[in-house]
Amino acid sequence: MLKDCLEIFEKEYRDIGNSLITDNYVLSEGSYVLVKDFSIIEKLEVSKGNRDNTEELYSKFSKLDYLSKLVDMNKPIDDKKIIHSNNYLSFFIKKENLRPDKNNSIKLTEDIINNYYDVLLNPGLKYDKKKKEIFDSMEKKYGRTDENNLNKVKVWIKNNIFTLVEDVKKDKNYLKIFFDEEIDIYNIESQKYVIPNIYNKNDFNVTIDGKTYGLPNNNMQLNAKKPFLELKTRKKNSTPYLIDEDEVLLQKAFFDYLMNKASSGEELVYISSEKGIHRKADIPNEFSGYILRIKKGKELEIHDFDTVVNLNTKIKKINVKFVIPIEYDKYGLNPSLEVGYINNLKKLEKTIDTIYFNTFMCNSYFREVKEINLNDLILRDILVRNRDGLYTWFYKGRDNIVRQTFSNYSMEIIKNSIKNNNYVKAKEQYNLRIAIINYFYGGYKMADKIKYISESLFEKINSKQTQCIQSDEEYYFAIGQLASYLISKNKSSKNKNHSLINPILNARNKEKLMLEIRKLFKKYNYAIDYGSKRFDNLYAMIVGYEVEDKKINGDLLIGGYLYSNLIYTKREEKEDE
């Protein structure tokens, strides 16, 4: 798959070059200085709040910074790892290494500066035989580094570096100095460093027909600590795979491109031979290709690499209705759930995030559990257990996991909302749940079922003579209604505590259910008017019904509990509804 992605990336990279990377380049925090004719002409302080890549100076520093950075912190020019740049036209150093420490010593010394420039002029001082051969071929191709200019730069750095650090922002970030030179010169000096260091280890390199092949450094590590990656059956060369210089440079550019996206906070990249490269915010309506989940670490980390087939952000309409009526005015709240059609994955994701997960879902797909600052630990647990399935649906277009699990965990969330007295939230969650389940299973018409049951039950509780419950579904809806009514009689506090329904929600069979209903009745019967026809009819019908299916229908029980209580509902209101 990586090779396919490289081929797609190559099409754009060959046309645009490094601009594909540097146009949206993210500079690390620190102080940037541009020197021309050995005088400082520009300074730029880069922080999290100051990263305007449309600014001309920012753009210039981006191009120079990209060509001056190390391939790997383990492959520095400076053996002491104090100086972090790769050519004589740039000088990268942490500011703390320019200031006295608690022992009044400074890490950057004149010897380190001299050694840095000596190695750049004569890499034979540092490189082994194979690396030196590669460098010599680069020098033969591009010419020898301008020794006179290099020495002038070295003298300027020695004379100015320690005073310059006092003139920039006082922090522990980088001080990066660039000497104003043509970008082609920067590119040449960068190549002289990059090519000898781009392979994982030059000991693995082989030459075939005058071409060098080696193990890439970006997505493969092979050393004495990781011998299990070797192909022991290959006698002459046990490295897993080898690529030539052109491909390794392309692969480096690709990983630099991805690293830049990760530095920008992007986590997902879509790559397609037909559609090109997209971020998650602008994927086309119909997409087939690859998805990469990336993260910035010490190097680029690819946490997921998968094939996407026929991802369509447009979906069959999900019809959201207020099956359970919600009196927002009564509670002084504004609706969070929008009634109507949802016809694309992005809107559905946002709706599920808002209604079920208090807007924590979208930002928590890939976070460590301890980093999810969701105070409701039950809700956080449900999110962590089910986020992979939701991510797979919204970003890979595969809903098979959610299709199997949504019914259970959405009901868990609704129960949790009721227990936490989030009564309106629970109603919104229930209404959205019905819409999504109907989307998945088609003929599952809970909305019609609740409408029919509520109307039938309303007529029965208003009857002069006690009627009979006709089905298990009507029975469990009636149980929810009765529980709602009894809890409403709680006079112990201004706000009704919906956690009183917990024992009923936790009941595993009809016997336990009726035991909890009787407890509620004994607790609050003092507040029920003697001869209350509606209550008497409802309670009598429930007591007199024998369920056929021993499994409790939690859907309709909670539906009955959340539905407007029919005992309190006037006939005119029911007709209006």
How does pLDDT run across 162-206, given as a tens digit for each residue? Answer: 999 999 999 999 999 999 999 999 999 999 999 888 887 666 666
List the one residue out of 362, 328, 358 whose CA is nearest residue 345: 362
Same domain, 75 and 209: yes
Residue that is last in its domain, among 293, 312, 331: 312
Which range marks the domain in which residue 404 is found? 315-433
Check which CATH number belongs to the domain holding 474 and give it. Answer: 1.20.58.1400
In a domain, 237, yes or no: no
Contacts of 508 (CB under 8 A, 6+ apart): 552
Q: Which two tokens stand for residue 260?
A: 């830049």
CA atoms within 13 A on the CB side of 28: 15
State how far the Cα of 279 lies from the Cα of 291, in Å rounded to an integer: 10
Predicted pLDDT at 2: 83
Residues in Cβ contact with 465 at an 8 Å cutoff, skipping those fewer than 6 apart:
none
Residue at 439 is within a domain? no
Structure tokens at 495: 């706000």
Specify whether the CB–CB gap between 219 and 302 falls below 8 A: yes
Instruction: Tell me which of 48-57, 426-435, 565-574 is least confident.
Output: 565-574
| Three-state secondary structure call for residue 308 | strand
Three-state SS for 561? helix
Least confident range of 212-226, 273-287, 399-413: 212-226
Cβ(268)–Cβ(279) below 8 Å: yes
CB count in 10 Å sphere of residue 74: 10
Q: What is the pLDDT of residue 199?
A: 81
Residue-level pLDDT at 35: 97
| Domain match, 365 and 502 both | no
| Residue pair 409/386 in contact by the 8 Å Cβ criterion | yes
Nearest to 301 by CA among 323, 328, 269: 269
Q: Is 155 helix (H, G, I), strand (E, B) or coil?
A: helix
- Does the structure show a pLDDT above 70 at 577? no
Domain shared by 362 and 473, yes or no: no
pLDDT value at position 570?
A: 72
In a shared domain, residues 326 and 350: yes
Position 214 confidence tier, pLDDT thresholds 50, 70, 90: low
Look at residue 528 and tell me whether its pLDDT is greater than 90: no
**Boundary-marking domain end, from 406, 433, 460:** 433
Q: What is the CA radius of gyration of the chain?
A: 34
The tokens for 531 are 């001869």
In a shared domain, residues 405 and 528: no
The answer on 40 and 179 residing in a single domain is: yes
- pLDDT, tens digit, 9 for 90 and up, residues 424-474: 999 999 999 999 999 998 765 778 889 999 999 999 999 989 999 999 999
| Euclidean distance between CA atoms 264 and 25, whole angstroms | 8
Q: Are residues 129 and 192 both part of a single domain?
A: yes
Burial profile 283-292: b = 16 or more Cβ within 10 angstroms, e = fewer: beeebbbbbb
Co-location of 333 and 303 in the same domain: no
Q: In terms of DSSP bridges, do strands 314-320 and 243-244 run parallel, antiparallel, or are they unpaired?
A: unpaired
Domain shared by 68 and 207, yes or no: yes
Residue 221 has pLDDT above 50, yes or no: no
CA dihedral 43, 47, 50, 51 (to 10 degrees): 90
pLDDT of residue 245: 76
Token couple for 417? 């909302």
Residue 220 pLDDT: 44
> What pTM was computed for the model?
0.82
Within-domain flag for 235: no
pLDDT for the residue numbered 219: 55
Annotate 328-375 with three-state secondary structure: HHHHCCCCCCCCEEEEEHHHHHHHHHHHHHCCCCCCCCCCCHHHCCCC
pLDDT for residue 40? 93
Task: Provide the domain count of the chain.
Answer: 4
Q: Considering the domain boundaries, does residue 213 fall inside one?
A: yes
The reply to whether 30 falls in a domain is yes
Task: Specify if 389 maps to a domain.
Answer: yes
- Looking at the structure, tell me whether residues 293 and 323 fall in a common domain: no
pLDDT tens figures, 358-389: 999 999 999 999 999 999 999 999 999 999 99
**Residue 319's closest CA among 300, 298, 293, 338?**
338
State residue 399's pLDDT score.
94
Going by pLDDT thresholds of 50, 70 and 90, the confidence category of residue 239 is very low
DSSP result, 8-63: HHHHHHHHHTTHHHHTT--PPSEEEEEEETTEEEEEEEEBTTB--TTSHHHHHHHH
pLDDT band at 28, cuts 50/70/90?
very high
Residues 469, 536: one domain? yes
What does the mean pLDDT of the chain come to?
Answer: 88
Does residue 232 carry a pLDDT above 60?
no
How large is the average pLDDT for residues 41-63?
88
Percent of the chain whose pLDDT exceeds 90 = 66
With respect to residue 226, please indicate whether it lies within any of the assigned structural domains.
Answer: no
End position of a domain, from candidates 194, 220, 246: 220
148: in domain:
yes
Query: Do 405 and 478 fall within a single domain?
Result: no
Query: How many angstroms separate the CA atoms of 314 and 321, rounded?
Result: 20
Percent of the chain with pLDDT strictly greater than 70:
90
* Distance, C-alpha 1 to centroid of its chain: 22
Half-sphere CA count of 304, side-chain side, radius 13 A: 17
